């Protein structure tokens, strides 16, 4: 069930989202060759605490980290460990915070000190695909409009879409409806109309 938010709810959610974004940006600056993903996770926890927030991920479905940090071949939900990041690695950083009862959740991929032309192209195409999807998130539109825009852009640039994971809503809980796949489910077209 989709939990509809009124203007008051959206206003109450904005600080959580802003904190998540600031923490994400601070993590991206903190990362350098030679540090461990566990050090990155601890840094993230300290920045959340600094802003009066806490991790939305720690303990969620028994997840042991404060953030998801996935290196190179890891798609999502990587856990901080003793793995050291190296120059040229690309890291998917996913930050979720709880602030005054609302969730803020955001992610981005960063290069450690620079990366190959191929890795940069992958990051550029996926970022542009995000904006293609956002452009289709319109009142009266359908979730499939978003999914189709993402899939078309990604596949049109020679990449494929991971089908095991989807985008999702947030509010007072993690992973609220609607689920937003990055591809069109042809056998069961989603009929969810955007408000």
Judgement on whether residues 49 and 121 belong to the same structural domain of the protein: no
Q: How many domains does the chain have?
A: 2
Q: Residue 194 pLDDT > 70, yes or no? A: no
Judgement on whether residues 5 and 20 belong to the same structural domain of the protein: yes
More confident residue, 195 or 15: 15
* Domain boundaries, position 18: 1-114
Judgement on whether residues 52 and 63 belong to the same structural domain of the protein: yes
The angle subtended at Cα 183 by Cα 60 and Cα 108, nearest 5°, is: 50
- Return the pLDDT at 72: 95
Judgement on whether residues 143 and 192 belong to the same structural domain of the protein: yes
Q: Which of 60, 85, 114 is the last residue of a domain?
A: 114
More confident residue, 191 or 174: 174
Q: Residue 193 pLDDT > 90, yes or no? A: no
- Return the pLDDT at 185: 79
More confident residue, 154 or 5: 154
- Span 85-90, mean pLDDT? 97
Judgement on whether residues 96 and 123 belong to the same structural domain of the protein: no
Go through 138-156 and write b for each residue having 16 or more CB atoms within 10 A of its CB, e for each that does not: eeeebbbbbbbbbbebbee
Judgement on whether residues 152 and 99 belong to the same structural domain of the protein: no
Global pTM value: 0.88
Residue 63: which CATH number?
Answer: 3.90.230.10
Instruction: Give which of 88, 93, 92 is closest to 112, Cα–Cα.
Output: 88
Judgement on whether residues 142 and 79 belong to the same structural domain of the protein: no
């Amino acid at each position: 069930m989709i939990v509809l938010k009124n203007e008051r709810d959206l206003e109450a959610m904005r600080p959580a989202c802003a904190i998540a974004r600031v923490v994400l940006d601070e993590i991206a600056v903190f990362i350098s060759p030679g540090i461990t993903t566990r050090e990155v996770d601890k840094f993230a926890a300290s920045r959340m605490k600094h802003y009066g927030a806490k991790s939305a991920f720690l303990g969620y479905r028994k997840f042991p980290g404060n953030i998801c940090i996935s290196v190179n071949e890891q798609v999502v939900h990587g856990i901080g460990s003793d793995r050291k990041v190296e120059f040229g690695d690309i890291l998917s950083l996913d930050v979720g915070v709880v602030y005054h009862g609302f969730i803020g959740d955001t992610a981005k991929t960063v290069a450690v000190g620079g990366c190959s032309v191929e890795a940069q192209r992958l990051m550029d195409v996926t970022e542009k695909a995000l904006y293609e999807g956002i452009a289709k998130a319109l009142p009266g539109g359908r979730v499939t409009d978003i999914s189709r825009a993402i899939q078309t852009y990604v596949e049109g640039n020679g990449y494929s879409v991971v089908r095991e994971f989807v985008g999702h809503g947030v509010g007072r809980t993690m992973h609220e409806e609607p689920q937003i796949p990055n591809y069109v489910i042809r056998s069961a077209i989603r009929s969810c109309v955007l408000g």
